Structure 1
Amino acid sequence: MQFLDFGHDPWLVAISLVVALVAGATGLTLTKDLSQIPPARRKLAVAIAAVALGGGIWSMHFIAMLGLRLPILFYYDAAITLVSALIAILMVGLALILLHFTHRTRGVIVAAGSIVGAGILAMHYVGMAGMELCQPVYTPGGVIGSSVLAIGLCIVAFGVAYGRRTNRNIALGTLCFGAAVFAVHFLAMAGTNFIALPEAREFGPLISNEIMAMGVILSSFVIFGAFLWVGATLLIPEEGTAQAAAPAPAAEPTREPTPEPEQPVLRIPCERDGGKVFVPAGEVVFLRADGHYTQVYTSEDRHFCAWPITEATKRLTPLGFVKVHRSYLVNPVKVTRFERSKDKGRCTFGTETLPPVPVSRSHLKEAEEAFV
């Protein structure tokens, strides 16, 4: 078996790294602050981010492959090439669903990073399987090394980007993601040899390097367009910031005091049956954390609220609500009975339609003061 000599165009290698970084920045930025938007828009943002990240993995791979220099002519199988792109997008999409539609724990972040790392590997080796008139031959060291690197760097990337959702952490996560995609490809290529084949093993239509270049340019154009759009939105100051920067109006002359208007009733923005409803705080019996969101219970209904439990606590405790558990916030006016059992407790609401709410040990004192 005679292996072929090969090399890489350094310019295309550099471009492939830029595309990987831009895709990472776009995808990770698109998923910032998703807990503050309704589920329908959140799903759309996750889908777009999956296309950006997965498409970036695919584009980086084939830009680098366009820079591959072999002494023979070779083509790509269009069907296998398309499958490789779908694998990358679907694997990234699965990871983002875990991160944004489940309770985000350290284990979930590790699982999401592992899935994306596996997606990079699967995309690479399926994409390589699409080569025609040329067969890649892998070494165990290349496969094992690229696998460890892909999963390890992706876990670090998501751990950093989702540890605290700040622009700084997203930038660091982008560097880790870009390094993962780039390093995995070239480490795997370092452990790969090529042999010439006498004829093509056609599974789908064949595409040449020229047509592949057009496809990669188109995908890169979409990714860079999304990157520019995301970057532009980040430069627009938030409404509150703009108002804070405005100069304060001049003080008016002293006037006779007037009665202060009544404060408006706080209404909690919720969703129910696909529609937007605003529930007065006084009608709420308790709130329960649901991942990064909350479920709002009234005497008759249950509603979905995009506020995390921390936001609900900040807004409702000044109104007298009591936090009795890390996942529960209770309106003490609605509590009909409080029971304590050793170092725990629970409160009930005088109706069978509402479940009892647990009171944790760390919140027993304030619960007793509010309910007893």
Structure 2
Amino acid sequence: MLNYSHDWRLVLAAFAIALMAGFTGLSLTRGASKLDISRRKSVVSMAAVALGGGIWSMHFVAMLGLQLPIFYFYDGLTTLISALVAILLTGLSLLILHFRPRSGTSKALAGAIVGVGISLMHYIGMSGMELCRPVYTPAGVFGALAASIGLSILAVRVAYSDRGRRNIVIGTVCFGTAVVMVHFIAMAGTAFEASGDQTTSGPALDNETLALLVTLAAFLISSAFLLTSATFAPNETPEVAKSKDGAKDHLVKDEVVPARDAKSVIRIPHEKEGRAYFVDASSVAALRAEGHYTLLYRGTESLFCPWSISEAEERLAGAGFIRVHRSFLLNPSHVAKFERNKDTAECQLLEDPKTRIPVSRTRLAELREVLGL
């Protein structure tokens, strides 16, 4: 077996890549669940490339920092496959988080998929070594898999327990630490032996040059995604509203509903005395399921709508409405007061303070994010 060591400059660069990728992916997906389907898919795709590509880039840079007493290099096709596995499994976990109810089970499943992706990416990438053969121990493989799944579940739970800035930063640290720790836990259970003809010529670029190029590419991709799609700008600052006595007693997020031109205004039908009428969706505060139909809360009125709650959720996805309960859709721009009650909450409406909209436990984090809490 061969003795080996690591170039710690490349190890630090790998850790920096993991942090950058984690912050980019978690920032991109902040608020994605309230976007319409096509925009949400686009954001999730970019985040999958950032997170999955970051996982692979971290691993590859760290492996390029591996110092062995013999010459070795990596097969290009195998290396590409390892990168695609990381991106695809990361994308699958993000689909679960942003296209399904965000429960404890879904978070654990998403974290487990990311963890499996990290381990698969690592061992597929290692199998691409040329002129040097890795030898694994069962304990090393099991330890790496257990660590990757456990740490990834922890990272997802932290980042998605509350989608605020603090949790994104903490989740980023958890994510970066998870990827780096899994890599070195796996390496601790791996030995190397020479294989093949050592006179074989390798790629034109040496390992250090490749590491520099991969690091630069990872940072450029993450930076581009952050600059074009993610923001922590002041326009997220909530507007402080006042009650009738002038006291500042509740928060309403500014500009929750995206601006739309006249041609794209969404109108909701309601029926009265056998006739159909239409109202602008922005004037509706909430919808409540009523059997196979819904009731619209508009001002102090309750109007009968022929849509089911599921149909309304699909049609109003681009109008800023979010599902806060199995029986309620809410327009956050009409929220006057948010009141937490242990694991659930209630929202009071601006136009009709007597109406309270319940918020279920599984929808609480998403609503708090939208309201800027």
Instruction: Flag whether TM exceeds 0.5 (same fold).
Output: yes
Q: Pick which of 294-303 and 116-125 moved more.
A: 294-303
Change (3 A) 1:81 1:295: farther
CA displacement, residues 348-372 of structure 1 (integer Å, 9 cap, x when unaligned): xxxxxxxxxxxxxxxxxxxxxxxxx
Decide which of 267, 272, 277 is 2:266's aligned counterpart: 277
Question: Secondary structure of the residue that 1:165 maps to in structure 2?
Answer: coil
Could you tell me which runs of 5 or more consecutive residues in structure 2 were left unpaired when the two chains were aligned: 241-256, 269-278, 297-303, 336-348, 361-373
Unaligned runs of 5+ in 1: 245-267, 328-372
Q: Kindly indicate whether the alpha-carbon contact (under 8 Å) linking 2:33 and 2:99 is maintained by their aligned counterparts in 1.
A: no
Counterpart AA for 1:173: G
Kept in 2, the 8 Å contact 1:146–1:187? The answer is yes
Are 1:237 and 2:234 counterparts? yes
State the match for 2:71 in structure 1: 73
TM-score by length of 2: 0.68
Give the distance between the partners of 2:59 and 2:284, measured in 1 at CA: 56
CA distance, structure 2, for counterparts of residue 119 and residue 164 of structure 1: 24
Indicate the RMSD between aligned Cα atoms, in angstroms. Answer: 3.7
Q: How far, CA to CA, are the matches of 2:305 and 2:65 in structure 1?
A: 62
**Which residue of 2 is the match for residue 305 of structure 1?**
316
Give yes or no for contact 1:21–1:178 (8 Å, CA) kept in 2: yes
How far is the alpha carbon of 1:318 from its aligned partner?
A: 5.4
Aligned residue number for residue 90 of structure 1: 88
1:199-214 correspondence runs (5 A):
199=197, 209=207, 212-213=210-211
How many aligned residue pairs are there?
A: 291
Q: Aligned partners of 2:30 and 2:357: how far apart in 1?
A: 29
Letter in 2 for 1:194: F
Contact 2:14 2:59 in 1 (8 A): yes
- Please list the CA deviations of residues 265-320 of structure 1 after superposition, one character each: whole Å capped at 9, or x if unmatched: xxx99x9xxx651332699995459xxxx998832684422322347176385556
Task: State how 1:148-159 maps to structure 2 within 5 Å.
Answer: 148-159=146-157
Distance in structure 2 (CA, Å) of the matches to 1:21 and 1:322: 44
For residues 52-95 of structure 1, give each alpha carbon's deviation from its aligned partner in whole angstroms, at most 9, with x where no partner exists: 10011011001101110001111111000000000000000000
Please give the alpha-carbon distance, in whole angstroms, between the structure 2 residues aligned to 1:163 and 1:78. Answer: 39
Per-residue deviation, 1:213: 3.0
Larger Rg: 1
Q: Aligned in 2, Cα 1:239/1:126: closer, same or farther, shift over 3 Å? A: closer
Q: Distance in 1 between matches of 2:148 and 2:295?
A: 37
CA distance in 2: counterparts of 1:295 and 1:130, whole angstroms: 60
- Show the counterpart of 1:43: 41
1:122-159 deviations in Å (ceiling 9; x for gaps) = 00000000101100001112111111111101101000
Contact 2:111–2:155 (8 Å) recurs in 1: yes
Equivalent residues of 1:77, 1:131 under 8 A apart: yes
| Alpha-carbon distance in structure 1 between the residues aligned to 2:146 and 2:295 | 40
Look up the SS of the partner of 1:309 in the other structure.
strand
1:58 and 1:185 map into 2 onto residues whose CA distance is 11
Identity %: 46
Relative distance call for 1:15 and 1:231 in structure 2 (3 A) is: farther
Pick from 173, 182, 190 the counterpart of residue 171 of structure 2: 173
Judge which range, 312-321 or 59-68, deviates more: 312-321
SS at match of 1:104: coil
3-state secondary structure, aligned to 1:185 = helix
Conserved? CA contact 1:26–1:223, under 8 Å? no
Matches of 1:193 and 1:79, distance apart in 2: 23
Q: Distance in 1 between matches of 2:220 and 2:186?
A: 27
Q: What SS is found at the alignment partner of 1:71?
A: coil
Q: Is the 8 A contact 1:288 1:309 kept in 2?
A: no
The amino acid across from 1:278 in the alignment is: R
Q: Could you tell me how far 1:186 is from its partner in structure 2?
A: 0.6
Q: C-alpha distance in 2, partners of 1:111/1:179?
A: 20
Question: CA distance change for structure 1 residues 278 and 232 in 2, over 3 Å: closer, same or farther?
Answer: same
Give the drift of 1:229.
Answer: 2.1
Q: Residues 288 and 219 of structure 1: is their aligned pair in 2 closer, same or farther, counting only changes over 3 Å? A: farther
| Counterpart Cα distance in 2 of 1:161 and 1:104 | 12
2:97–2:107 CA contact under 8 A, matched in 1: yes
Aligned 8 A contact 2:284 2:331 in 1: no
Does residue 1:138 correspond to 2:156, yes or no? no
Structure 1 residue 19 corresponds to structure 2 residue 33: no
SS for the counterpart of 2:101 is coil
The equivalent residue for 1:117 is: 115
Deviations along 1:90-134, one digit per CA (max 9) or x if unpaired, are 000000000000111100000000000000000000000010110
SS at match of 1:16: helix
Q: Is the 8 A contact 2:148 2:179 kept in 1?
A: yes
SS of 2:234's equivalent in the other structure is coil
User: TM-score, normalised on structure 1?
Assistant: 0.68
Secondary structure of the 2:231 match is helix
Higher deviation after alignment, 213-222 or 124-133 = 213-222
Specify the alignment match of 2:4 in structure 1: 6
